[in-house]
Amino acid sequence: MAFDLARSTDVLRRTPPTLQSLLGGLAEPLVRGNEGPETFSPFDVVGHLIDGEETDWMTRARIILARDKEPKFEPYDRFRHKARNKGRSLTSLLDEFSRLRASNLDQLQAWKLTPAQLDLTGIHPKFGRVTLRQLLAAWVVHDLGHVAQVARVMAKQMKDDVGPWVPFLPVLTDHEMPRS
């Protein structure tokens, strides 16, 4: 499937209401349960997505569009949300994510990016030159990966309750070694 900016924006706009439906008002054990040490709970995922809005995707797009000689991205801090969101409620994080995402997508659309701009590149700290098109596609895939993660992590909190169904519900045994 060739990259399509309007379609990508459409998917990005769906993430806040999707997470609102899955998580808004959910019981605490499901909100805070995770897959083990160093893994994210649904609460952590929403914080991580907020970090992405504030420090990652659009910040990097701006670096690319500025066309400096050395358009280097800052390394991304996967655990920024841990200290930032201490004491916050999930409801307020979901609202904040919705606001930040809407504002970023308004900005993205206002740029009216051309195919030539989508071919411009920046320098990723881990893997070097990437195009703006690849960055925007990665933003979409990153969202969907975390939606999948939220559903999987919720499911795993109920693993002990399903008895002999465990081997027939693959979501319960996905990512036994954490990967995201």
Which residue, 105 or 147, has its beta carbon nearer to its own copies? 147
Token digits of residue 52: 């992405």
> Residue 73 carries which side chain, given as an amino acid letter?
F
Establish if 75 lies at the interface with its own copies (CB under 8 A): no
d(CA 3, CA 136): 9
Q: What is the CA radius of gyration of the chain?
A: 18
Pairing of strands 128-131, 121-124: antiparallel
Q: In the window 32-51, what residues touch its own copies (CB under 8 A)? A: 33
User: Least Å distance between CB 115 and its own copies?
Assistant: 14
Q: In the window 99-128, what residues touch its own copies (CB under 8 A)? A: 124, 126-128
Which residue, 46 or 87, has its beta carbon nearer to its own copies? 46
Measured over the CA atoms of residue 139, residue 140, residue 142 and residue 147, the dihedral's sign is positive
Which residue, 4 or 68, has its beta carbon nearer to its own copies? 4
Establish if 160 lies at the interface with its own copies (CB under 8 A): yes
Q: Are 135 and 122 in contact (CB under 8 A)?
A: yes
Residue in this structure with the two tokens 């596609």, named with its chain if needed: 137
- Least Cα distance to 40 among 81, 93, 100 occurs for 81
Residues interacting with its own copies, by CB under 8 A?
1-4, 7-8, 10-11, 14, 17-18, 20-22, 26-27, 29-30, 33, 124, 126-128, 130-131, 133-134, 137-138, 140-142, 144-145, 147-149, 151-152, 154-155, 157-165, 168-172, 174-175, 179-180
